[in-house]
Structure 1
């Protein structure tokens, strides 16, 4: 390995998760003195118009068009069907990755977005550069899968099992967790007794999200605001319309705090007793680090619904099917401290700290020995264009 390796990180701008993972990996690489890093939103750079259309569809899926997004998500999983639109998208991605690899001499490519453009390039060009996939959810989609990928980092043991069941060598997989900001690891399990011995005022944190995840948040607040022993904090993110509406309604209520975009989410989560949030891979990973009892909002079909199913199956969250179930779920957790403890205990069993450091430690050895984990390509489904 050269003293200062040059690294390409591929990301995507569908939601904030892939970008957050990218930022976390860059921060860890920078700590090691590695700064020669190129980031690429591969599909946007290859075809901005098509990417903007599909990105808008993704955002609308939180309020409208859920069935359309779910259709596209599950249709593009080749375990279920053969879907030609993805072939076209991957073709554009292949052209862009070919251009990037031609213009640069990368020592490593880290991918944080589900795509088959990398395997296409690997099969055709056979580069020596190690290609790494960092999965950003707790569920598997086949757009992550290919024997052409040299190494995988996954969120949980069940994902490793799923990958090996598809034929991926288990020696090419590390259960690292999903990279998140280091500040979330400050609040480890030593702080749990302090949480359990708080005074009688309980704190509820609602992460409303920027894309209208909750359609009638005001109604949920109305159902809960009468509880004098409950303080509600709502984080609206970049949703200024929601922030202004809630501020108008509740700015004079001492038991309700309305916040816009915040930079201290880890601290807010650690100070809270219950959190209501959507089932994104990053949000769930942050909750695992803090070990805060979770109520998950109704999930849109796709990776977030599959994430929610996993957390419900493993006893790490209460999953709601409609917004009418959220307030009763909050009240149930407040009345049942043993249930809250059960959720956090299960989280502890599935928590993998310092994911970025684990990933960087490993990938640096792959640069040193780029052929160590390589195998002959034998994908069960060959990609055609």
Structure 2
């Protein structure tokens, strides 16, 4: 049900406005037209106040109904969770039959990664039931959460609010501020977790009713909810998290998680610093659609002419005017980047090097109409491409791609061996993705659109064996590419490893719960307290000191009672005789 102005609040608003108007007419005796003509300005103002109050009360009524219904659902879902936990068979093993892949469409990268994993799982085993769920779409999420978590965020980072570009800077500040596993922003705060769960009750119902054999996440929102169900209610469902950014933010750290798949070694180090065991992390890369690997395998033994001829036969849009006759002109693909598409294109056509320029407009018909009006120098060939399902074919024959550094497009470009020109990265994760490209020598960061033609001319015209040439950037891209990531993750998901990992963890927790104080095993990543759902985690900490609380002293006592022997710098244990003597109390 929609509780906004287009739903229940709107119905209440219409009824209350009618009631307020009738009441106003009754109070002042305005049943005739002559009475209306004799109204004073103060009385008209009072009527307007009545209408505003009616709208406010309508919104309050809708909110009260919304909260009441939510509390009723919470009671129902608690019973549902209790039934699901009571009827589950955690010890079962064998062939995986149901896979639930969860993502959140906050940007297209998380969704495309989920689709890539679903396609890879289906290719490896067609008998497996694969379900892809978007947490940012009804009925799984409440419209209030969708507005603030998705719509408002995308408008903020895109500079579409009254704050302008300051909105993106604010998001970047929060992103850096929350990069700490002990911070409440990461989902460690119990109240915040309860609020989030109340907006995603339908998703939690799906988890309990679908009974998947394993859950895979390409966004950090769902792991937080599933981890809470496992900690607080004892739900036995293995979950695997696939990080879709080049760096691991603390938001991805949600325990218990049975395995993490990360794009590169530094991401593995960051998770280990947060306390995740090394054996629970695999450097796989970011999963991309299997079509990319199919295309790359098909053109592996073809020359440039053969690749472009095959490309023209496979594309779902006619691009013959730009690619025929076949020549050695470099292919530069400009991906749609929102408001800056036209500005980038105007500076790109100033290239002195003759090039084939392909602009992917997507579904932005207005952008394509504006681009068609721009006069293009005769030395270039230009193709404007709308929405296409064959982007993998285009990137496979391209040389350079100009795009925002989202996790998926970055992984796709690297897999195709493309030099990447970064423009307009969002503050936060995209800036870190751009930094990775610069570190590895696989791309350049374009701060000013006016520099595009100058910098690309120098790179394209440089000798192939020279450093910072186009070939040099492409070799670095191929060096760090991992096009087989989707199949690598899918093989793990279809194995019994996630469930075995979950059962081993539960066995360790059962042993540790036999003694009265909580225990910490060597190399373990967390201590769970099921009574208040507290998670004591070690990892990257904030630079701001935190005051000690009473619970901290209780933890210290518990840990001290289970302390292990100290080790000297050479690794040998210190015996009691090696410790300094203490004088007896007199």
When normalised by structure 1's length, the TM-score is 0.87
Offset of residue 165 of structure 1: 1.6
1:94 and 1:121 in contact (8 A); partners too: no
Offset of residue 344 of structure 1: 2.0
| Residues 338-372 of structure 1: CA deviation (Å, up to 9, x unaligned) | 32222222222222232121111112222563536
Q: Quick one: distance in 1 between partners of 2:434 and 2:148?
A: 26
Q: Quick one: distance in 1 between partners of 2:536 and 2:203?
A: 23
Q: Secondary structure at the match of 1:187?
A: helix
> CA 1:213–1:372 in structure 2 vs 1: closer, same or farther (change >3 Å)?
farther
2:121 and 2:494 in contact (8 A); partners too: no
Q: 2:205 aligns with which of 84, 95, 99?
A: 99
Corresponding position of 2:484: 354
Q: Secondary structure at the match of 1:325?
A: helix
| Residues 159-186 of structure 1: CA deviation (Å, up to 9, x unaligned) | 1111112110111111111111112123
Q: 1:203 aligns with which of 306, 324, 331?
A: 331
Q: Secondary structure at the match of 1:204?
A: strand
Q: Secondary structure at the match of 1:299?
A: coil
Which shows bigger deviation, 315-324 or 274-283?
315-324
User: Does structure 1 residue 300 correspond to structure 2 residue 426?
Assistant: yes
Please, which runs of 5 or more residues in structure 1 have no aligned partner?
none
Q: Quick one: distance in 2 between partners of 1:373 and 1:172?
A: 12
2:416 and 2:478 in contact (8 A); partners too: no
Corresponding position of 1:290: 416
Q: Quick one: distance in 2 between partners of 1:217 and 1:269?
A: 19
Root-mean-square deviation (Å): 3.1
1:179 and 1:356 in contact (8 A); partners too: yes
Please, which runs of 5 or more residues in structure 2 have no aligned partner?
1-92, 161-166, 307-325, 510-525, 528-534, 539-586
1:275 and 1:295 in contact (8 A); partners too: yes
Q: Quick one: distance in 2 between partners of 1:303 and 1:162?
A: 14
> CA 1:176–1:256 in structure 2 vs 1: closer, same or farther (change >3 Å)?
same
Q: How does 1:260-279 map to 2 (within 5 A)?
A: 260-279=386-405
Offset of residue 3 of structure 1: 4.8
Corresponding position of 1:62: 158
Q: How does 1:74-223 map to 2 (within 5 A)?
A: 74-78=176-180, 82-83=184-185, 87=192, 90-92=196-198, 95-115=201-221, 116-185=224-293, 186-187=295-296, 191=300, 194=303, 199-209=327-337, 211-212=338-339, 214=341, 216-223=343-350
Q: 1:17 aligns with which of 102, 106, 109?
A: 109
1:206 and 1:276 in contact (8 A); partners too: yes
| Residues 306-348 of structure 1: CA deviation (Å, up to 9, x unaligned) | 1111111121211122323333332222122432222222222
Q: Quick one: distance in 2 between partners of 1:84 and 1:148?
A: 14
1:275 and 1:292 in contact (8 A); partners too: yes
Larger radius of gyration, structure 1 or 2? 2
Aligned length: 379
Q: Secondary structure at the match of 2:491?
A: helix
